[in-house]
Structure formats: C-alpha cells, structure tokens
Structure 1
Amino acid sequence: MDMLLSMTALAITTYSIILLHPSLRFGDTSVNGIEQAEWESTNVLSGECNEDKRNLIWNRLPKCLPKNETIAIPFPPDPNVIQYFPNRIELPRCSGACYENGHLYQSCKANETVLQDVPVILETISGQSTVEVCSTVKLEVHVSCSCGCGDIECNELQEFNERSCSCICKNSSVRGQCMAQYNKIWDENSCTCRCRQDQWKKCNTGYEYDGIYTCQCLPGQVINRASLGLIVTLVVVVVVLFVCVVALGFMYKKERNKNMEHRIQCSQSKGYSLSQLREEEKGLADDAPNDQ
C-alpha cells in the first residue's frame, strides 16, 4: 500500500512539473536547437516493421544527386572593399542523407567537383569616394555525388557506426537514463548528460552553477581576476625576498672569509701562529662583557 501511494505521489509530481514547464512537453520545437516531436508508442505489438514498410521508409529518402543550395560567398580579401553583391548564390551541391543496398543510412558526398566563375559587384573605396567594380569569384560546383560516409573522425569517447554513418557514444546505455530526467539532455559530442539550456541560471557571488548533476547553484570558491593578480603578486614578492636573503648570506660569508684571511696574514707577519691568534680572539671575546 505504501509503495502504491509513493508511486502515485511521484506521478502527480512529474505531471505538475510538466505542466509548469511547457518547453518539456512533446510537440514543442526549437529546444536547444533540436526539433521535438510526439512519438508513437514503440511497443513491438503496436506496429511491426515488415519489409514493405522498411522499403517505403528508405524510398522516401532523397536521391543522392546534386541539388541547388544557397551558398555564402566569402568576403573578398581586398581591404578597400566595403561590401559586395550578391553575397549568397545557389549552386549544385551534394548533401543530405541517402541509403544504399543493405539499408545503410549514409551521407551524400561529392564525387566530382569543378570551379565555376561567379560574377559579383564590389563596392570599393577610391580616394574620397566609392566606386562599383565588376569582378568574379571562383566557387566549387558538385558535378556528381555518391552515397557514403566520407572521412569521419570520432573522438576517444565515440565509435564509428557504419549503418548510421555517424559517431555514437560508447556509453550509449547511459543515454536512456539521462533522457528520462526532465531537466537533462544528452550531449552526443562529449557523451555526457548535462542540464538543459533552459535550466541554466545566474548564481550569486560565492556560488557556482552545477550544469552536470544538480542543475542548481552550489557553494563554491570563485577566483576572479583581482584575486588571481594578488596571488601572483605575493608569489613574486616571496621569490624576490628569498633571492635577497640568499644574496645577503653569500655576501656575509664572503666578507667574513676575507676578514679571516686578512687577520691570518697579519698574524703571520707578527710571528703569531694560528692557534695563538684563536686564543687571542677568545680572550678578547671573554674580556668584552667585563669592559661593559
């Protein structure tokens, strides 16, 4: 009975959170740049995928052929150019998804390319005025395409999947646990579960936002530029003091040895031995308190 009440309370809480956060409902779009959709149940009994249905899905994918796409023309390297027209143009390009026999979902890549001269108008600075200059720019045109993966490099956290022609995370089993949390989203690049962008918040001084686990502001030590500069200054002062102490010690030792050598030379000139000199120094040291 207690378990039933707990599950009921959890369901009511989850439903309330979804009502309070409209962006979490299915059907909303443009959440973190990813289109959302309402999925049909994935129960096996709800709609088994037979050969006819699979072929229908694959055949709806576009053919791997050059199609006109809007391409941005790069800005001219001439520093005198203010602007140019057009800055975008439609050219045949190979792109999008495709499939080959064996139901391999892959990408449409260019097989053969050529450079095409595209006429443009450049508005340039000439003295105290501007003039329009007609010029051309060479842009790449795709002549033929092929369905394949191309050169895809995966990071150390991913592995290449030939069927989908993409890099998938090695720890993909964790993805389901991540997506079950209403405030989390799975990052395919870093293969980590992080907080949704609409959950991010600005924290007060002394707190840091935890974008991985709690999605909340937690106490933390914040090192700003001022404190970092103070630490660097203190380190420099300590190093300078240490160097000065070492230098003074070295100079004192050098001066002491020089005085000792001078006294030895003087004692030798008077016929004193080294032992007599030391006894004389000891006597002078003993008489010093009495004189005071």
Structure 2
Amino acid sequence: MIRILTLVVLLAVSVYGGQKCWDRKENRNIRDLVRKVSCMEPRKTLVPLPVPKGFDRVYPSVVEVPRCAGQMCIQLDQECVATETKNMTITVEAHRLNSLMEHECVDISVQEDVMCGCNCERSQESCGINKVFNRNFCRCECKQGLKNECKNKMVENPGLFMWDETSCTCPCNNQHVKCGDGQVFVHETCECRYVMES
C-alpha cells in the first residue's frame, strides 16, 4: 500500500520550480486512475474464445474473464501476472459454415486469473555476456569494471573510443573511417592498419 501511495505522489506532483502540475480535482482523478490500474486483483477483460477443431466459428466469440494483464506494476521492468489461476468452462454454439449451417453446443475451457502479482520475467540468460542480472531491480546491468576499462582506453586514446551503456561495450567513436588501399579497420585499436600489420 505504501508503494502505491508513493507512486501516486510521484505521478501527482511535479517539483519543477516548486509548482504542482495539477489542481486538487485532477490529483484525485489521477489517484483514482492509479488505483484502478495497479496490480492488485484480476479485473474483467474481454478474451477471444478459441474455435474448436472441425468448426469455423463460435458464438459468442468473446467472453468476460478476470485477468491480470494490462495492469500496472510499481517497478517498470516488472509486469502484472497471474499468481494463481483456475480453469472455467464456457458453453458456446460452435458453427460449421457449410450448406447445412450445422451447429452444436460445445464446452470450451478458459483460464481465469484468481490472484495477481508483479513478477520479473527476466533472468541472467536474457542479459548477455557483458551484463549481470540484478534481481532487486529486475534489470540487466553492466558488469563491474567494464566502464572503468573503457574510461582508461578513452584516456590513453583520446577521441578513439566511447562508452556504450546499452551494450556495455567500448566501441570505436568513429566506425565509418575509410581506410587506404591495402588497409583494414581494426576495431580493437580503432585504427586503420595495413593487412600484413594486422
């Protein structure tokens, strides 16, 4: 509850020049909106029904089912998922679009979300070789030391290298250098070298 209130305060107040962005009524509307979309309990959602094998369509084609999807988590990298589910059975009219226009009653099983929770879907495997997974913040972060190594390269070779926070690498500052005849661009040194030299 405290985390939700914190988010409400963050959304409702801007500290730019000490002024608030919204008046009292607008603040109340924002608070109500945040309460409605916060990941707390499943809410009714229209879900399309699958068409059973051997049929062309079902009626009704959608049904209202309690679902967690589409709700908001405090941490941006997390998503609202079902922590507990159960199957519900719905009877529909299944139609065959042939000359006889046959139809029959068919039971379809649909998942109903019982409880919601914010969950981190990421893992170390999703991070790549230059990053480590921080479970507390549900995000991939650059391995320690990589940025300092890059800074050292930048000091030793001014203008040649730059730090890329997205990939946690130290690529060349200008990778589109045109090398002379018999030369190739060497990414490790960010210079043109003669083929025999490299």
Structure 1 length normalisation: TM-score? Answer: 0.32
Q: Which has the higher contact order (CA 8 A, sep 6+)?
A: 2
**Higher share of residues assigned helix:** 1
Larger radius of gyration: 1
